[in-house]
Structure 1
């Protein structure tokens, strides 16, 4: 990876041997290892046994989970907030595990649409929920820094499964509660 970064620096007209860039290939490698850390994680390890008997079947929501990801088309960041809700049947997740699931999938090259669906499917699969809803709101630097250069644009995606998709009142309750 460090050799590739040196080649990129040369290709854009920079001198990878100049003082300010000498350690850049190493820093970029470390940065990408961190930013793409989701590839080295799996759902079972992230959950790490934090599944508990459900004492109710009421909606559980974790909102405003910050996330950072990298667009797979331009390798530029997109970032924002993720809101997750689910209705348990027999099991609930430890609350921090919801945020860890968001992190695991967002720390990969992504498109927001797939990321939203992956989070919903992972939670649905893990807790065998009655339903799951995920809404993501993000700013994409590939739209802000290049291309159409729209500085205030925000993309919103949603994935609804089970009762969140089939039952309008359940979906409406979730959407109302995440708007706080």
Structure 2
């Protein structure tokens, strides 16, 4: 045999990098106490029957929004030499604005031009959810998705378009309701090849205008 079991396992490991968020474990009890102090500081009574459990609910809600399971970026050989765009449109996500800790929600359109390997399609949605599960800016979120796909898949090109509505802009401050922010990240042939760039942006534009 030319490859030992350990050699094959190492190869599989390289082809299936595991994504996980590093950081301290969630302390729900401390979060609940902090939520209660926060609400009281804003003049909210948390002793009534209706609100006495609100700090616990707040702590669990934020913990849920900021937690996503780790996963493997499973790839497969591009045996058929597929050389057209692979695009998953309308991946819904929700995240928290890191400046106000208010939600922003929207959709991501993620595509790539395959090289030697292709990616399990569900992993594109998992990738969006993974990076959205942190206090974010939309600009960073868009680039992180594209960077990770580019790094772990080594495709010929990558395209990511994100469209979202931000509560920090619609519910406070400018109170600009029904506005959407659009960001994009294009790499490789999707950026450099005018025909591919136009094709990808046309596909995602159609998805944005015809939900």
- Secondary structure of 1:20's partner? coil
Consecutive unaligned residues in structure 2, runs of 5 or more: 1-30, 207-211
TM-score normalised by structure 2 residue count: 0.79
What is the CA distance between 1:155 and its match in structure 2? Answer: 0.3
* 1: CA distance, partners of 2:182 / 2:203: 16
Is 1:77 aligned with 2:107?
no
* 2: CA distance, partners of 1:64 / 1:46: 22
* 1: CA distance, partners of 2:179 / 2:205: 18
- Secondary structure of 2:177's partner? coil
The aligned residue for residue 15 of structure 1 is 45
Consecutive unaligned residues in structure 1, runs of 5 or more: none
Matches within 5 A, 1:146-165: 146-165=172-191
On the 8 A contact 1:46/1:100 being kept in 2, the answer is no
2:75 to 42, 48, 51: 51
The aligned residue for residue 33 of structure 2 is 3
What is the CA distance between 1:94 and its match in structure 2? Answer: 0.7
* 2: CA distance, partners of 1:136 / 1:163: 19
1:145 to 137, 153, 171: 171
- Number of aligned residue pairs: 174
TM-score normalised by structure 1 residue count: 0.92
Higher relative contact order (CA 8 A, sep 6+): 1
CA gap of 1:46–1:34, structure 2 versus 1, over 3 A, is farther
What is the CA distance between 1:46 and its match in structure 2? Answer: 3.9
Asked which structure has the greater CA Rg, the reply is 2
On the 8 A contact 1:46/1:101 being kept in 2, the answer is no
